[in-house]
């Protein structure tokens, strides 16, 4: 149901914020270089409007950020949530304009983590997920109101 999907996004947003803040705090300088490597890949996928490539890059970015948080409990929780929402993420990223917006948000997030700005990283991670929720809700309403 739409309510359950909204709840899933809300929980993912809260946990993504914690993961981003912990990654900014706990990652070693060497580990942070891995985040830096994602930026040109994200820019390239966005410039090429490569939804499929960006989708998998986004999954890899989230996994890497979770690894940098050095928190096994958060990693297990997030893996469960991500498995439940992969199809939703693909659908959301395929909506007009969403790829570019998501890419910008993830570049800003990567930069906040690189700068070890925990509060900004947490806010951006939450915002990225909640923006996805908003796009899904718009899609859901449009599909529901479309003539059958």
pLDDT at 23: 98
pLDDT at 45: 96
Q: How far is Cα 61 from Cα 148, in angstroms, rounded to an integer?
A: 38
pLDDT at 148: 64
pLDDT in tens, 40-86: 999 999 999 999 999 999 989 999 999 999 999 998 888 888 777 77
Query: What pTM did the predictor assign?
Result: 0.90
Q: Considering the chain, what percentage of its residues have pLDDT values greater than 70?
A: 98
Checking if the pLDDT of 142 tops 90, the result is: no
Checking if the pLDDT of 113 tops 90, the result is: yes
Q: In terms of pLDDT, which residue wins out, 56 or 87?
A: 56
């Amino acid at each position: 149901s739409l309510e359950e999907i909204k709840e899933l996004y809300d929980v993912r947003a809260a946990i993504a914020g914690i993961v981003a803040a912990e990654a900014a705090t706990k990652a070693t300088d060497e580990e942070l270089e891995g985040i830096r490597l994602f930026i040109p890949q994200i820019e390239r996928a966005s410039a090429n409007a490569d939804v499929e490539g960006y989708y998998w890059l986004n999954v890899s970015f989230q996994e890497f950020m979770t690894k940098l948080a050095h928190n096994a409990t958060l990693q297990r929780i997030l893996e469960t949530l991500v498995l439940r929402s992969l199809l939703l993420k693909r659908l959301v990223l395929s909506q007009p304009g969403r790829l570019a917006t998501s890419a910008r948000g993830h570049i800003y997030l990567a930069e906040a983590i690189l700068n070890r700005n925990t509060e900004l990283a947490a806010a951006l991670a939450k915002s990225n997920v909640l923006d996805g929720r908003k796009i899904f809700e718009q899609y859901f309403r449009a599909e529901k109101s479309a003539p059958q």
